């Protein structure tokens, strides 16, 4: 399985912008740990968000990035455990034709994807993988300008 390195989906003609439309369940970690996602390990620190998506998939998001990506569902106060909606932040995504792996970030957890899974780029050097069925359920393509 090839490990993707030096990837930049902004220069990939097969990539496009998508937004996530999903309400997720969030619990903020009390201690550091690791959770197992379908794509691989997700190490997290105390106070990071541990997320369960509408399809049952689990992952972690650092506290520093969480507020930019999710907003509480009223009447939940920000920072409390409970339901959060994904903010409509565009991400670059490309469906892959073969199995692959990619680091979440430089020196980060190594994630593994299958053929037809989607490679997501949140920012330069910041990646995720989403299974095709889940991607089709919670992401929508943005109209091209």
pLDDT in tens, 59-105: 999 999 899 999 999 999 999 999 999 999 999 999 999 999 999 88
Question: What confidence tier does 3 reach under pLDDT thresholds 50, 70, 90?
Answer: confident
Q: Is the pLDDT of residue 145 over 60?
A: no
Last residue of a domain, one of 87, 107, 127: 87
Q: Is the pLDDT of residue 143 over 60?
A: yes
Phi, psi of 68 (to 5 degrees): -75, -20
- Total tally of structural domains belonging to the chain: 2
Q: Is the pLDDT of residue 120 over 90?
A: yes
- Residue 127 belongs to domain spanning: 1-21+88-145
Do 125 and 111 share a structural domain? yes
Do 99 and 60 share a structural domain? no
Q: In terms of pTM, does the model score above 0.85?
A: yes
Q: 120: Cβ–Cβ under 8 A, 6 or more apart, which residues?
A: 18, 91, 92, 93, 127, 128, 129, 130
Do 77 and 98 share a structural domain? no
């Amino acid at each position: 399985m090839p490990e993707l390195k030096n990837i930049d989906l902004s220069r990939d003609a097969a990539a496009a912008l998508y937004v996530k439309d999903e309400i997720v369940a969030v619990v903020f970690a009390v201690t550091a740990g690791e959770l197992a996602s379908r794509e691989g390990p997700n190490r997290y620190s105390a106070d990071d968000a541990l997320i369960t998506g509408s399809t049952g998939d689990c992952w972690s998001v650092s506290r520093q990035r969480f507020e930019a990506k999710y907003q509480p569902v009223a009447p939940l106060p920000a920072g409390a455990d409970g339901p959060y909606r994904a903010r409509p932040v565009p991400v670059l995504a490309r469906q892959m034709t073969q199995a692959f792996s990619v680091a979440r970030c430089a020196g980060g957890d190594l994630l593994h994807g299958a053929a037809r899974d989607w490679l997501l780029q949140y920012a330069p050097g910041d990646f995720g993988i989403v299974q095709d069925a889940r991607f089709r359920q919670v992401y929508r393509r943005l109209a091209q300008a």
